[in-house]
Amino acid sequence: MRPAELYTGNGATGYEVLENLAASGALEAYHALEPLGRVGVQFAATLLLGLVVLGLLQGYSARTVRTARRSPIISLCIGLPGLLVASGLTSTGYVLIGRGVGTFFGLPLVMIGITVLLPLVALGFVAVGRTLAARVGRDGLGSGILAGSLLCSLAGFSLPLTVLVVALAGSLGIGAFVRVLLHAGTTTAPDERTIPPANKI
């Protein structure tokens, strides 16, 4: 296949494959699953994604979880617009792939949306799960991952509840992550200040 066919979608493995993926009805197939099947899929996906994200982004992910727990309302207010933007980009890319416009515009939007949404939704569940686990004396990231995965799996019994819980977790994770990025360059520890305290002068 020529390289140009990847952008124009004329090759058999270019646009046609992605068009089939867009039209394969993945959401319909997920909707057709039995409730217990959705519970298992959501538990395994949240658990695996949480472990991967916390393993790869140890510093940022841990600070995101702490920020989300410390001030969840502010994180939700900041994260809700971000969730709408990321979801809109992903949906737009998905529609572009399925409408014959080509993969050149649609695929990057889908990839960007998925790259942003999935890890931050997982961090939102970890933050909520850690808060719940702390109520029973198990305040740790491992307990947070497990409790967040259980919360996501229990929501699988109802699709509207799943959408609501995932939206809340996504808003929480996105808002907390944005706040961590905005404060990444600030100095919070006293030892990092350029001017010494008055009692040391």
pLDDT at 10: 47
Give the pLDDT band (50/70/90) at residue 9.
very low
pLDDT at 13: 44
Half-sphere exposure of 193 (CA within 13 A, CB side): 8
pLDDT at 177: 92
Q: Distance of CA 53 to CAs 47, 64, 102, Å?
A: 10, 11, 31
Q: Distance of CA 33 to CAs 23, 28, 49, 153, 156, Å?
A: 18, 9, 21, 13, 10
The percentage of residues in the chain with a pLDDT greater than 90, rounded to a whole number, is 23
Give the pLDDT band (50/70/90) at residue 102.
low
Average pLDDT, the chain: 77
Q: What is the pTM of this model?
A: 0.73
Question: Which residue is associated with the tokens 């229990």?
Answer: 154
pLDDT digits (tens, 9 = 90+) for 154-165: 988 888 888 899
Cα–Cα distance, 28 to 77 (Å, whole number)? 31
